[in-house]
Amino acid sequence: MSKQNNWWRGAVIYQIYPRSFLDMNGDGIGDLPGIERRLDYLASLGIDAIWISPFFKSPMKDFGYDVSDYREVDPIFGHVDDFERLLRHAHERDIKVIIDKVWSHTSDQHIWFHESRMSRDNPKRDWYVWADAKPDGTPPNNWLSYFGGPAWTWDTRREQYYLHHFLNSQPTLNLWNSEVHAEIFDVAKFWLDMGVDGFRLDAIHTYQHDPELRDNPVRGPNDPIPSDMPLSNPMSYQKRIHSMCTPHVITFSQKMRAYINQWPERCLLGEAGGDDSEAIAASYVQGDDKLHMAYSFGLLGSHMTRQDVLDTIKRVENKLGNGWLCWATSNHDTIRAISRMQAPEHLYKKAALMIMALGLSLRGSYCIYQGEELGLPQAKLSFEDLRDPYDIALYPEHAGRDGGRTPMPWHKEKPHGGFSFAPETWIKFWEPHAELAVSVQEEEPDSILNHYRNFIGFRRQIPALRDGDLRLLDVPDPIVAWVREKDGYKILCVFNISNDRATWVLSEPHDYSILSNISFGAVIDGETATLTFEPYGFAFLGFTE
């Protein structure tokens, strides 16, 4: 495969949650013209691609992840013409565009589901997962939903249960049905022909269930602790080996890869959850016949302590082989990384920069979630301010999605941080974010934003950081270190994941030189080969052997 066709390998991808990015029509909801308006800002970051969360027609019960028409743009975001213009202008700036495809389920308002639930003998009767009740009228098995409670809802017309891994308004598509495959691939063709550069595949681990509908066993004390949900979710009590994460998903991913290969330079990025998301993600990207990339919840679902980072990297490196991961430390489903780390407020900037450097120096591609380049902490919302059904259902033990979805702060002095000129926004703007607005950080050479620009620009020029090998080093607490290497060029990457100063004596006799333009809070004593770090300091050192 040519280098050109490997643009995704080592790419920096910027995730946009369109509802909260920029509102151009004044309805309090972000839209596609808002994304287009900020393309120059995105280009200034040096990113390779943007991933846009769903903007398709939807009743918005799960804010776009409940699609009612895969080919139509929801009016709150604009029109198909708006997307085509956005796509064209992004490409003019050498920015690839990946769009979010939710093929595990639809909205219950989709015409497919309306037809499927009409009777047991209609043409789309098997387009969704239907099952008879047990003799006592209870659901077919013990499978649970991410949103709490059974994963089955009774339909009085068919007198059967239908499966839903999320809200009961999100019925699961039957991806054992070849007609559903054909329809999904036709949807893919519609957007690929338009020119999109790839798809982010939502919850791909839920694509194909056990056709025998066997009960999930109980998760034992030695089984992996799931990283894609809080332990307050009753689903965490089960090993989800039959409801999702089945080996059949790999076969389906091969079909998708073969299909998308008809369009050059396109890619598939899968979201891999489950009880051992690193192993699942690795299984979806082995070889050249499955997904191009996948991402797991190892860092997304952790507090990003030193041990969390080490354990996740080891699990990935032990299982990934020749596959390719796309790392992320924050997204629209999790508490923002800087808040999960629980760094003291006076160390927020240092912690934000360390997250940047750590994520962008791992072996793989990397997703920056909007606002992460500003060092935004998690917004603190009251229960009355919550909008997300998942946060509401699991409150107060879990309130991690809405606080990461609040409006992007563009201008410190403008209402709602410059996100919208509407009197009210779809979700409350968190005023402390105004102090970290783009307008503020643009004027500060040493801002988090400008450090991101500098680091991404440097990384783009260094093949060892973009797609080189990674060798994890055995170093003392609280230090974490690894070597990235490609074509004989090596970089030592060292991080102090702690609130305290730390030192590390370099034991190997190399001629080290610290790369000061991308290091922060670290100095080296050349005579003793001792690195000294401030809290959350990090260093990148070039060396020869």
- What are the catalytic residues? 202, 271
Q: How far is CA 222 from each of CA 64, 218, 219, 225, rounded to the nearest angstrom?
A: 37, 11, 8, 9
380 closest CA partner among 403, 408, 410:
403
Q: Distance of CA 542 to CAs 476, 497, 511, Å? A: 21, 21, 8
What the block records as the tokens of 216 is 């999930």
**How do beta strands 49-52 and 12-16 pair?**
parallel
Lookup: tokens for 285: 């990207």
**Residue 489's beta-bridge partner residues?**
486
8-state DSSP, 510? -
- What residue type is assigned to position 515 of the chain? L
Q: Please answer whether residues 171 and 113 qualify as being in contact, where contact means their C-beta atoms are separated by less than 8 angstroms.
A: yes
Rounded CA gap, 204 and 244, in Å? 9
Q: What are phi and psi of 466, to 5 degrees?
A: -75, -45
**What angle (nearest 5°) sits at the alpha carbon of residue 28, between those of residues 24 and 30?**
50
Helices (H) and strands (E) in the chain, counts: 14, 20
CA distance 107 to 332: 19
Beta-carbon contacts of residue 128 (< 8 Å; ≥ 6 apart): 112, 113, 116, 117, 162, 163, 171, 172, 173, 174
Within 13 A of 155's CA, how many CA atoms are on the CB side?
Answer: 26
Beta carbons of 396 and 384 less than 8 angstroms apart? no
Q: Cis link prior to 478 (omega < 30° from 0)?
A: yes
**8-state DSSP, 247:** T
Tokens (6 digits) for 260: 């998308």
Write the single-letter amino acid at 370. Q
DSSP string for 337-402: HHHHTT--GGGHHHHHHHHHHHHTTSSSEEEEETTGGGTPPPP---GGG---HHHHHTTTT---SG
Locate tokens 């563009």: which residue? 410
User: Could you give the CA distance from residue 499 to residue 223 in angstroms, rounded to a whole number?
Assistant: 31
Q: Would you give the DSSP letter of residue 214?
A: P
From CA 9, how far away is CA 415, in angstroms rounded? 39
| Residue 511 CB coordination number (10 Å) | 11
Cα–Cα distance measured from residue 305 to residue 499, given in angstroms and rounded to the nearest whole number: 11
